[in-house]
Amino acid sequence: MQPSYSTRPTMRVNLDNLRYNYETIKKRVGNAKIGASVKADAYGLGATQVGRALYGAGCRIFFVATAGEGKILRDSVGPNSAIYVLNGPSPRDKGVLLGAKLKPVINSLEQAQFWAQVSNSVNEPPYTAIHIDTGMNRLGFDEEEFKEFARDKKLWSALNPEWVMSHLACAPDKDHPLNAQQLAKFKRAAAQLPMTPLSLANTAGTYLGKPYHFQMVRPGIGLYGGYATNTPEQEDIRTVVTLLAPILQIRNINKGESIGYNASYTAPRDMQIAVLGAGYADGIPVLASNKGYATLHDEAVPVVGRVSMDITMVDITDVHMHKEVGGVVVFRGDQLENEASEIGTINYEMLTRMGQRLRRDYGKPEKSNAQPARQKPFKPSKSSGYQKRR
């Protein structure tokens, strides 16, 4: 009997594990509030479903990048959450910010002056957060602008800030000297402002200890099952997302034949390959060509040939368990970090690049909810066939 399957790839999101990761962070930081980072469509997993799951777990503070993201999230989680827009206010976004009751993060004197004018023109202006740059040299008040802002009590009052925040640049490396430098600079800057709750730590920052937690932490990647630090053995997280690519064809390739665009791979032996219905439009990067890998029956299968828009080929020669059209090859999952490191990128990018045409499955996992902690990533063994292509 012909198996029932689809040619469409699937992103499977385990919301139970998302909530587990949230609770784990919550326990680690004690009385500090959790402000969940759900920007970039919740790191590619779907802000609507992720936002609702986190809200159900007790989260009431969210961070997005843009006003448009905030509007989508507001429609999903309802009126009883604080949603902060990290990129700050702009004239074209004014209507969305006010209409969706979003709270802008003020990053510069220009944004502060603009939003003060807006606030003075409406009856119930939203609260804000003040972002001070302490060493990232990205967004946030620089040193000179901050001095001017700190002296302007009228401007402070017009903005009505309820948080003062900064962002750590090197938190994954607990021994990096910039961590302590940023912490000290943040404390000095906050001391020049009216007493206001503070926030500094991202996911990695929560592992730096209580001095970095302040009144709120802002986790991102750790919620979504990605390791945040250079010592992942300390991180108690569970896998949240897997990418399932259906096998469209199984082909036998003779030694010396080429595979894929540009003939970039030549078979060093007689091989069996699986042609998968997922490509770079679905989040399998072109950089994975002849370099990345996935798993089939928990065995590493290397990518061979160039990844194309809709198709990826993997070497399944050494997989001896059952192989059939309609089966699925697994990307991401417990191997998220390995996949990223093999192609020279980071877990954040691997998640956020997953395409919109993926079927998104938020259903209950097949196994019991009494799941073990996430397995540590394995490195493919020589017997897997993964290293034979080198």
CATH code for the domain in which residue 312 is found:
2.40.37.10
Residues 189 and 298 in one domain: no
Within a domain: residue 156? yes
Q: Token pair of 151, please?
A: 């002296």
261 noted as active-site residue: yes
Last residue of a domain, one of 224, 254, 283: 224
What is residue 123's DSSP assignment? Answer: S
255 noted as active-site residue: no
Last residue of a domain, one of 157, 190, 224: 224
Residues 215 and 246 in one domain: no
Q: Token pair of 142, please?
A: 């620089």
Residues 90 and 167 in one domain: yes
Residues 205 and 268 in one domain: no
Helix (H) or strand (E) holding 248: strand 241-253
Residues 203 and 266 in one domain: no
Last residue of a domain, one of 178, 194, 224: 224
| pTM as predicted | 0.91
Residues 87 and 216 in one domain: yes
Q: Using CA atoms, how far apart are residues 382 and 390, in angstroms rounded to an integer?
A: 11
Q: Which one from 5, 101, 185, 261 is the annotated catalytic residue?
A: 261
Residue span of the structural domain in which 95 resides: 31-224
Within a domain: residue 313? yes
Within a domain: residue 366? yes
Q: Using CA atoms, how far apart are residues 80 and 143, in angstroms rounded to an integer?
A: 35
Within a domain: residue 320? yes
Other Cβ atoms within 10 Å of 127 Cβ, number:
15
Total structural domains within the chain: 2
Q: Using CA atoms, how far apart are residues 248 and 261, in angstroms rounded to an integer?
A: 18
Residues 38 and 178 in one domain: yes
Residues 215 and 66 in one domain: yes
Q: Token pair of 354, please?
A: 């997953």
What integer pLDDT is reported at residue 33 of this predicted model? Answer: 98
What is the dihedral sign for C-alpha 317, 367, 26, 199?
positive
Residues 218 and 127 in one domain: yes
Angle at 293 between CA 288 and CA 299, to 5 degrees: 175
Within a domain: residue 135? yes
Q: Which one from 22, 26, 33, 39 is the annotated catalytic residue?
A: 39
What's 152's domain CATH number?
3.20.20.10
Within a domain: residue 3? no
What is the dihedral sign for C-alpha 137, 207, 191, 38?
positive
Q: Using CA atoms, how far apart are residues 302 and 297, in angstroms rounded to an integer?
A: 13
Mean pLDDT, contiguous 10-residue spans, the chain (390 residues):
80 97 97 98 96 98 98 96 98 97 98 97 94 97 96 96 98 97 98 97 98 98 96 95 97 97 96 97 95 92 97 96 93 92 93 92 58 46 34
What integer pLDDT is reported at residue 364 of this predicted model? Answer: 62
Nearest residue to 168 (alpha-carbon basis) of 126, 207, 197, 123: 207
How far separated are the first and last CA of the chain, in Å rounded?
A: 39
Within a domain: residue 16? no
Residues 73 and 101 in one domain: yes
Residues 220 and 245 in one domain: no
Residues 48 and 187 in one domain: yes
Within a domain: residue 10? no
